[in-house]
Structure 1
C-alpha cells in the first residue's frame, strides 16, 4: 500500500524519499519532539535527526523552541510540509478505497486490524519481536 502512495506522490514531490515518511507520517501540525517521532516510528533518534535535517533543507519542516520546555525543539511542518502531508493522506485514502472496493469493506477492515496487530507486535522493545 505504501509503495502505491509513494508512486502516486513521486511526481509532485521528487525530492522527498520514502525514508522521509518516518517523520512525515507521524508529524503533528503543531509539531513533535524528535524523540517522540523516534518512538512513534520505531527509528533511532540519530536516524530521525538526519531525516529532520534533510526535510528542513527541503523546506518541509522547521525546528522551533518547545513552549513547554525552551531547551527542547519541536519539529514543525511548514506550509509546504503541510501540503505534502495532506497530499499523502489523500493518496492513502484513495489506495484504501480502491482496495476496499476490490475485496469488500469487511475483508479490508479485517486486513487492517490484522496488519495493525502485526505492526504492534513487531515494535522494538516488544517481547515477541526478534
Structure 2
C-alpha cells in the first residue's frame, strides 16, 4: 500500500511541477494533464497481444520491452519488470521518480505505469528507428545490458 501511495505522490508532483522548467511543449503537457497515468494491466495485455514475442522490441536490465497499440491508435512501448530481475519495487519506484523529474525534448516521454500485484510496467511513447545502442554500436552486438 505504501508503494502505491508513493507512486501516486510522484505523479501528483509531476502534474504540479510541470511548466517553468519543462522542455516539453504545451500540447504535450495538456495531453498528460488529461491522461490517467495509471494503465490497466488488461489494456496493456490487449495492446501488446498479451506480450507476444512478435511485439518484443528488446530486453534490458529492467526486463523486456514490447510495442503496443492502444485502441485510440497511439503506439506505446511497455517496459515490463522481469519477475527474475534483481530490480524490485525500490528500483521501479526510483525509475519512475527519475523519469518524472527529467523532462527534455530529446527523451522519450513516460506516459504512465501499471502496478498490478507482482506486475510492474512503465509505459512510454513509442519511437520508431531502433534503439539507442544500435546507433552507438551499429549492427555489432553490444555487451551492455541496458
TM superposition score normalised by structure 2: 0.30
Greater Cα radius of gyration, structure 1 or 2 = 1
Bigger fraction of residues in strand: 2
TM superposition score normalised by structure 1: 0.33
Bigger fraction of residues in helix: 1
